[in-house]
Amino acid sequence: MRGRLGVGVDTGGTFTKIVAVTPTGRAVRERQIPTEAEAGPGPFVRRVAAAVGELERELGRRARGIGLGLAGDVDSARGRLRFSPNLRRFSGYPLRDALARATGRKVLVENDANMAAWGGYVVELKRRARNVVAVSMGTGIGGGLVLDGRLYHGSTGSAAELGHTRVDDGGERCNCGARGCVEAYAGSYGIVRTALRLIRGRSSLIKGLCPDLRRLEPRLIAEAAAQGDAAAREVWEETGRRLGLAITNAVYLLNPDVVLIVGGVSRAGRLILDPVERVLRRQPFRTPFSHVQVRIARTPNLGAVGAGLLALESLRAERR
């Protein structure tokens, strides 16, 4: 008995990661294909199916189920994407059914941050925490909730949109059109905007590391901060303070064991964690705040790993 395998697919705007995972979340094989979203969902489904087939041939094993994660408003009950700014042509297409037909496998479609939350719950927390709030930091801020040990979807599958909770009514403009969402400060474009404001008319290492400021990205601001640049440190301080407020609100509502920060921008590590923790420590309600732990996830490709794990989980639940 060599154990079951699940396949997880994490669909990004540019690249799509595909991994085969064991029930404990070990990635045994992975590949990456271009998403080519502009070609539409039909060709995308065919290329994913082909890549899954190749992965299985290399492994000499067949996977049980496939989890497909996508950034956006996912209708997981019907297996389609309602809307996504980066995958516009995929909206309304029956992704689940098409991929199931193309592969002959059970397919589950889910928001990518939900997938990452499930991956974190199983791999990083070993299912030992009952309630987990995952915060994904990338261009945007996403979220995923594991409540009482199960992925929480909400009533229309739109839960955990932590990025659009408001931290400053009437504040900075968010990509969603509203003002003052935490994403407008802690999404990568918000972090860059803060940096451009803070370095204006001031000497900063950021300018040396990135002579063309139109190409500035959080990675470079983290590098400048690590080298002791004052402006760069202020950027992370402000980012963490805003993110800390959104996390504070989530802790008041959900009283989780763990807040797990995932996604590319979370590699800034303590630069984010320190100011977030300072905000949480200041809260007068001690019980939920002294209980909760804030952590940065360390597993690579957590979204894809979680997608594969969730596919296995859903098959297991069906057999019960």
The rounded distance, in Å, linking the Cα atoms of 143 and 12 is 16
DSSP conformational letter for 215? G
Q: Do 294 and 120 touch, CB atoms closer than 8 A?
A: no
The rounded distance, in Å, linking the Cα atoms of 75 and 96 is 10
Residue ranges in 280-309 that form contacts with a copy of itself under rule CB under 8 A: 282-285, 287-288, 291-292
**Is 85 a residue that touches a copy of itself (CB under 8 A)?**
no
**Is 148 a residue that touches a copy of itself (CB under 8 A)?**
yes
The rounded distance, in Å, linking the Cα atoms of 296 and 282 is 20
Nearest by Cα to 123 from 318, 310, 316, 315? 310
**Is 178 a residue that touches a copy of itself (CB under 8 A)?**
yes
**Is 248 a residue that touches a copy of itself (CB under 8 A)?**
yes
Residue ranges in 120-139 that form contacts with a copy of itself under rule CB under 8 A: 129-131
99 vs 162, which CB is nearer to a copy of itself? 162
What DSSP string runs through 65-113? EEEEEESSEEETTTTEEEE-TT-GGGTT--HHHHHHHHHTSEEEEEEHH
The alpha-helical segments, DSSP class H, found in the chain are 41-59, 95-103, 112-119, 183-186, 188-199, 205-209, 218-226, 230-254, 270-281, 286-291, 302-319
The one among 67, 157, 218, 306 contacting a copy of itself by CB under 8 A: 157
Near a copy of itself by CB under 8 A, which window of 46-54, 161-169, 229-237, 259-267?
161-169
Near a copy of itself by CB under 8 A, which window of 15-23, 103-111, 185-193, 251-259?
251-259
**Is 14 a residue that touches a copy of itself (CB under 8 A)?**
no
150 vs 202, which CB is nearer to a copy of itself? 150
Minimal distance, residue 60 CB to a copy of itself, in Å: 40
Q: Which residue has the tokens 């004052």?
A: 230
Minimal distance, residue 236 CB to a copy of itself, in Å: 18
- What's the half-sphere exposure (Cβ side, CA atoms, 13 Å) at 292? 30
The one among 97, 223, 257, 277 contacting a copy of itself by CB under 8 A: 257
The one among 33, 176, 196, 230 contacting a copy of itself by CB under 8 A: 176
Enumerate binding residues for a copy of itself (CB under 8 A): 73, 82, 129-131, 143, 145, 147-148, 150, 152-162, 164-169, 176-178, 245, 248-250, 252-257, 282-285, 287-288, 291-292
